[in-house]
Amino acid sequence: MLQKIYSKFIDQKSKEIFKSRLLFSLTGDYSEICKIVSGTDQAAEIRHKISFSQDGHVFLWGTGFWGDHLIKSFPDIKWQGYVDSSPRESQKNGMPVYDPQEFLKIYSGQPVFIATAFYHEEIHRQLLSYGIGEDKIINAGKLMVDLFDSQYFDLPFLPHAEDEVFVDAGCFDGLTVRNFIKWSGGKYREIISFEPDAVCLEKCRAVLKDVENLTLENMGLWSSKGVLSFHATGNSDSQIAEEGETRITTGMLDEIAGDRRITFIKMDIEGAEKEALVGAQNIIRNQKPKLAISIYHKKEDIWELPALLLEMNPEYQFYLRHYSLREAETVLYAV
């Protein structure tokens, strides 16, 4: 099975990502994720800037989630310490945490990583105001945002037709819909988005209120029609879960689509991808839509999802691409 899947990857980059994700799933060895991350253009830009550092040491601006992942993904970098405008602790991961004034007293020209995707523009301006040169600032936050923005639509191999019917499974914040419209040049027939989280749904309704020919469904895609327990967080971690505190309606894309001819399906639904694909098997078998499917939520996804798609449609060929500086956001393209 693995040999068959491997033979379906068209380019060497996809094959390397597949091998590393497979080994990570089987062994838990994070160095395999480091190999994938190092293959991104963003990682190349980071290493280019660090190469100019006199002593090789680097500061992290921000003590949150992203800084921890940068340390894991770039273990060979000589991390010197954290900087945070409102530090809650004096040490983290065995390194000192400085407030900005303490940092400026000891700073001697090392590169500074901006380790947040949320306030990177403000921090970038702040660093410049301290007299830290542009060549010393590594805006990892912006690099991460750029990766997110290119997700699902950056492959030059994806054919585009003017009558696209696009299924967005996991609307979340509406960004994917916006990026689809940009990718399609505004030429499409219909967009059908699914979002079971009530908070995320309202966000999508607000930001996509001007989008034409959009159907926004308050439900989850699954292999059957029914009601399931759901863990609603109002962010990207919402997911179907046995211990979920709310209940959501689920449906099969095969039934919901009716007589529409679906041309492109994107799925990022926190581990429900396999069940949702089963619920779309008639579309996949008969209409052969382009697919962009998240393949990292469960360790078995890396082999189970390609095998399932080849069972449904042996004509599919695959690409893999990675869109973050950590283990998340690997996408399987089937064309």
Q: What is the pLDDT of residue 246?
A: 84
* Secondary-structure percent of the chain, ordered helix, strand, coil, rounded to 5: 40, 20, 40
> What pTM was computed for the model?
0.93
Q: What are the structural domains, with CATH classification, of the chain?
A: 2-33+155-334 (3.40.50.150), 40-147 (3.40.50.720)
Is the pLDDT at 289 greater than 90, yes or no?
yes
Query: If you average pLDDT over residues 209-222, what whole number do you get?
Result: 96
Residue type, 174: G
C-alpha closest to that of 335 among 264, 281, 273, 275? 264
* Residue 237: pLDDT band with limits 50, 70, 90: low
The pLDDT tens digits for 294-322 are 999 999 999 999 999 999 999 999 999 99
| 109 neighbors 54 (Cβ within 8 angstroms) | yes
Work out the number of other CB atoms within 10 angstroms of the CB of residue 181.
Answer: 18
Q: What is the pLDDT of residue 52?
A: 56
Please name the residues in contact with 167: beta carbons below 8 A apart, sequence gap of 6 or more: 192, 193, 194, 253, 257, 262, 264, 265, 266, 289
* Residue 117: pLDDT band with limits 50, 70, 90: confident
How many angstroms separate the CA atoms of 174 and 177, rounded? 5
Q: What is the DSSP letter of 171?
A: -
Handedness of CA 237, 27, 317, 329 (dihedral sign): positive
* Residue 102: pLDDT band with limits 50, 70, 90: very high
Query: If you average pLDDT over residues 96-100, what whole number do you get?
Result: 96
Q: What is the pLDDT of residue 103?
A: 95
The pLDDT tens digits for 149-175 are 999 999 988 889 899 999 999 999 999
Is the pLDDT at 243 greater than 90, yes or no?
no
How many angstroms separate the CA atoms of 195 and 95, rounded? 41
Query: If you average pLDDT over residues 181-209, what whole number do you get?
Result: 95
* Residue 53: pLDDT band with limits 50, 70, 90: low
| 201 neighbors 195 (Cβ within 8 angstroms) | yes
User: Which residue spans within 86-129 are E strands per DSSP?
Assistant: 91-92, 95-98, 112-114
